[in-house]
Amino acid sequence: MRKWHRWLSVFFGIFLFWIAATGVLSHVAAWWPSAAPSAQAAAAAAPPAGFECPEGWTCRPPRAERQGIGKLVGFFHHLHSGETFGPAGEAISFLSGLALLFFAFSGVWLYIRMWRERARRKAKSRWFWK
């Protein structure tokens, strides 16, 4: 398991870094405070005259158009999902997600095996060791 963990990390490390970085940038762009909406944007977000929300429904006005760095949310999402690079990019993004699941599982498994080996040798019990 350790050999697979090591070899796959060499290949998928680059893609996992890409996915992590673009995911963080996507969230930063979405959460970035934008300037107060203009009067024109507020008027466009208002429901049309005579519109009433149906009974039992919760209606919200449409989201105002993002401004500033917030406009880049879609761009970062396309980079994050691999859509920018076509079907090959989407496949690599999917495989990177599977690799991340594998790394999480195999890392825990390797840690438990090392923990048991230390217990078998009656070594000093610690959470982390050198």
Does the residue 53 lie in any domain? no
| Domain hosting residue 82, numbered range | 1-32+67-103
Q: For residue 129, is it within any domain?
A: no
In terms of C-beta distances under 8 Å and separation of at least 24 residues, what long-range contacts does 43-52 make, across chains too? none
Per-residue pLDDT tens digits of the chain, which is 130 residues long: 777 777 777 778 888 888 888 888 887 787 777 666 566 666 666 666 777 888 888 777 666 677 777 778 888 888 888 888 899 988 888 888 888 888 888 888 888 888 888 888 887 766 665 5
d(CA 74, CA 30): 9
In a domain, 114, yes or no: no
pTM exceeding the 0.85 threshold for the entire prediction: no
Task: Flag whether 87 is in a domain.
Answer: yes
The rounded distance, in Å, linking the Cα atoms of 57 and 54 is 6
**Considering its fold, how many domains does the chain have in total?**
1
Residue 124 domain flag: no
Is 93 part of a structural domain of the chain?
yes
58 occurs within a structural domain: no
On the CB side of 100, CA atoms within 13 Å amount to 13
